[in-house]
Every structure is written in C-alpha cells, then in structure tokens.
Amino acid sequence: MDILAIFLVQFALSFVVYGLMWKWFLASYYRSRPVEQGLTILLLPHLWHHIGLTTLVPTVVAKTMPGEFAVPVSIGDVVIIVLALASLGMLRYRARGAAALIWAFSIVGSLYMIYTGILWVRFKIWDHLAAHWYVGTFYIPLLVTSHILIICILLARGAELGVYPNKGT
C-alpha cells in the first residue's frame, strides 16, 4: 500500500469514528444542554491549532516540507486560535455578538481548511509529514468535524445565543 493510500484510509476512518461518536454519544447530549455548552466543547479542539506551527520545525516534519505550505499554515493557525479564544470568551461571558463571532470563526476556519486542503494536494504534503503524520490523520478530521457541527448547531440553535440581558443596565 502506498503512502497516500495509507494516509487516506486513516483520514477517512477518523471521520467515521468522529461521526459515530457524534451519533451514538454526543448528539443527545448537545440537544439537552444550553447551546453555549455545546459550542464551547466544539470550540475547544481549535485551541490546539498552534500544533500547526510544527510545520516550521525540521525535526518534526521532513526537511523537504515546502515553505509555501508551512508558512501560510502557521499564520492561519494563529489566526484561528485568536478567533476561537475570542469566541470562547464571548460565550463564557454571554456577550452580545457571540453568534456573529462564532459564525465568523466558522466561516474563516472552514475557508482556511479548504485552502490548506488545496495546499496539501498541490504540494503532496503526505510525503513531507514525518512525525506530523498524526496531525493530518487524526487532528485535522477532528477540526473539520468540529466546524461542521458548529455550523449545524448555529443553524439549528444560533438564535438562542442572542437572548442575553444587557449587563450594563
């Protein structure tokens, strides 16, 4: 089996596992809880986006890792962490505008995932991963699944986020 086939099998199986975890265990939990709790849990994995900075570390990835991939990934990961932290802060303090910021996070994060996916294919990143292999096969599917679920929750229950009393009055 070649390296790309192994990568794709692991990548796909991670999506299957995350999907089954959602269906069998988490979906009913999310439906029975305040929307803030569900979104908070789904935002948490994005706080580890700093793992993407390891694409700049030659002892973690192959020395052949293209800078045209590593640099945009590192910058994008920092942007996503900032948006995730801001979203979590707004949820935590039930701030007005939390829904809008989480939507922005979801849109920017999803576009970032698409962009990096294009770069993965363009530069055949699976050939340059070395120890970073597990990020691509386990963590990235978690992030994509999380984005999908956040968007689904926002569509179904996002209006619940705007019903906060004005703290200033």
166 belongs to a structural domain: no
Assess if residue 95 is contained within a domain: yes
pLDDT score, position 156? 92
Query: Mapped to the 3 state alphabet, what secondary structure does 8-69 carry?
Result: HHHHHHHHHHHHHHHHHHHHHHHHHCCHHHHHHHHHHHHHHHHHHHHHHCCCCCCCCCCHHH
Within-domain flag for 16: yes
d(CA 84, CA 91): 10
What Cα–Cα distance (Å) separates residue 59 from each residue in 49, 55, 56, 158? 19, 9, 9, 43
Domain membership flag for residue 113: yes
Instruction: Report if residue 168 sits inside a domain.
Output: no
Asked, for residue 169, whether it belongs to a domain, the answer is: no
For 73-103, the pLDDT digits (tens) are 999 999 999 999 999 999 999 898 999 999 9
Query: How many structural domains compose the chain?
Result: 1
Q: What is the pTM of this model?
A: 0.90
**pLDDT band, very low/low/confident/very high, at 169 (cuts 50, 70, 90):** very low
Taking only the tens place, the pLDDT of each residue in 126-164 is 999 999 999 999 999 999 999 999 999 999 998 888 755
165 within some domain: no
The residue segments making up the domain with residue 148 are 3-160
Q: What is the DSSP string of 131-144?
A: GGHHIIIIIHHHHH
